[in-house]
Amino acid sequence: MSFLKQINPFENALKQFDKAAEILQLDENQIAMIKEPRRITEVNLPVQMDDGSIRIFKGFRVQHSIIRGPAKGGIRFHPEVTVEEVKALAFWMTYKCAVVGVPFGGGKGGVVCDPSKLSRTELQNLARRYFAELSDMFGPDQDVPAPDVNTNPQIMSWMFDTYSMHKKRFIPAVITGKPLELGGSEGRTEATAQGMVYCVREAVDHLGFGLKGAKVAIQGFGNAGSHAAKLLSEDGAIIVAISDISGAYYNPEGIDIDAALETCRQNEVWTLEGLEKNTRVEKMDDPMKLLELDVDILIPAALENQITEANAPNVKAKLIAECANGPVTPEADEILEKKNVFIIPDILCNAGGVTVSYLEWVQNRMGYYWTKERVNEDLERIMVKAFDEVLETSKKYQVNMRIGAFILAIGRVTKAAELRGLYA
């Protein structure tokens, strides 16, 4: 296991919570109601492999909170996913939904597996078994999953189908991030990146520079990172570096993002492998050095704990837009704050995904579907409002944007908990 994984993301999440709770002067009872996850479930999932053998995969679902609405959050398929990571991700979902004001609590799922090493049938069997095993937890009013790292609309379709077959009814609102053909929403695929772009536009305005000609480095080229690269380059930004598991690629003049997307499409699995053969880029010796490049905007769009006390002193970007969840550790936060780096925190920056998930859930429940323009109009309005409210809160309490976002969100969850009171 790598050094990075040894940093416990849930402990980091709680440190963020504690700072904001202290400023809000929450008492012990208020904290007890909203800090720890409500329910943690672990399952062993037997799956028949193509060679006839049976393999057991570990799966988790954590419901952090159902105070403001059904638990909401994606399902991650990753060989190194742990329950502590899923707890942190579920926690962040609670506060993410509260920051943007969508009526959900927080949840997250994980399955310990490497999907690139599974056949399509094996992947389908695993996805179905996970959903069947936990089907009592899920439901449009209980817990509504979605895609996350290494899961996609096809996997959502299998999970939706499994649930609907069990219940003997068509129930699209049990899961979001579905394909359009099965009740998915226009704009959902690019929503995380699109929401980030709305925040970045506000942030560069606030900081007094423009997106046109701004130099950008993006770590991660999955759903969030690849759409981020495309959308920002359309806004006139110069994407000088991108990376994924195959390595980091750099061109100070700007990378041809269409060539990068084409490379991913042509590879058997979605990676940038071989990009240096298709367009003018240099493959960096150390992919982590992407985070230290001399750029205006840095976008971590991969996993947690990427910017730590070890590399934060070398970060040169003026603005960090956290497309990933938890990419900056609390220790790195302090270093970056001293360096005057403006961070759009994950629970605000990447909330576009869950916001359009909410719009998808609404459309599913009324059975009427909106155009992409309509969806993006709502997304922009919600993201810009949330950005403004977080900025205002951070000014009011004289704290950075992350603590500002937590103060805003914790205030909303606490208020809802108080209004509901305790069921005997």
Chain positions contacting ligand GLU, by CB under 6 A = 72-74, 146, 148, 176, 325, 350, 353-354, 357
Separation CA 293–CA 8 (nearest Å) = 26
- Check 19, 87, 96, 108 and give the catalytic one: 108
Please check whether residue 375 is in contact with residue 359, taking contact to mean a CB–CB distance below 8 angstroms. Answer: yes
* Alpha carbon 220 to chain centroid, angstroms: 12
The CB density around residue 48, as the number of other CB atoms within 10 Å, is 14
Of 16 and 176, which has the nearer Cβ to ligand GLU?
A: 176
| Encoded tokens for 322 | 């956290």
Rounded to the nearest whole angstrom, what is the least distance from the CB of residue 257 to ligand GLU in the complex? 22
72 included as an active-site residue: no
Question: 203, 260, 270, 194: which is closest to 232 by C-alpha?
Answer: 194
Rounded to the nearest whole angstrom, what is the least distance from the CB of residue 172 to ligand GLU in the complex? 14
Separation CA 141–CA 104 (nearest Å) = 9
* Alpha carbon 224 to chain centroid, angstroms: 8
Rounded to the nearest whole angstrom, what is the least distance from the CB of residue 128 to ligand GLU in the complex? 20
Rounded to the nearest whole angstrom, what is the least distance from the CB of residue 33 to ligand GLU in the complex? 23
Of 329 and 350, which has the nearer Cβ to ligand GLU?
A: 350
Of 290 and 347, which has the nearer Cβ to ligand GLU?
A: 347
Of 74 and 184, which has the nearer Cβ to ligand GLU?
A: 74
Rounded to the nearest whole angstrom, what is the least distance from the CB of residue 391 to ligand GLU in the complex? 21
Non-local CB neighbours of 278 within 8 Å, separated by 6+ positions: 259, 262, 263
Cα torsion 46, 47, 53, 58: sign: negative
Rg value, the chain, Cα: 20
Torsion of CA 187, 351, 222, 262, to 10 degrees: 30
| Encoded tokens for 410 | 């914790």
Separation CA 244–CA 104 (nearest Å) = 31
Over 219-242, what HEC string results? ECCCHHHHHHHHHHHHCCCEEEEE
Separation CA 64–CA 51 (nearest Å) = 38
Question: 106, 36, 140: which is closest to 347 by C-alpha?
Answer: 106
Residue 287's Cβ-side half-sphere holds a number of Cα atoms within 13 Å equal to 16
Of 263 and 355, which has the nearer Cβ to ligand GLU?
A: 355
Angle in degrees, CA 70, 71, 72, rounded to 5? 110
Of 238 and 359, which has the nearer Cβ to ligand GLU?
A: 359
Rounded to the nearest whole angstrom, what is the least distance from the CB of residue 90 to ligand GLU in the complex? 10
Rounded to the nearest whole angstrom, what is the least distance from the CB of residue 359 to ligand GLU in the complex? 10
H/E element, 72: strand 71-77
Of 99 and 275, which has the nearer Cβ to ligand GLU?
A: 99
Which residues are the active-site residues?
A: 108
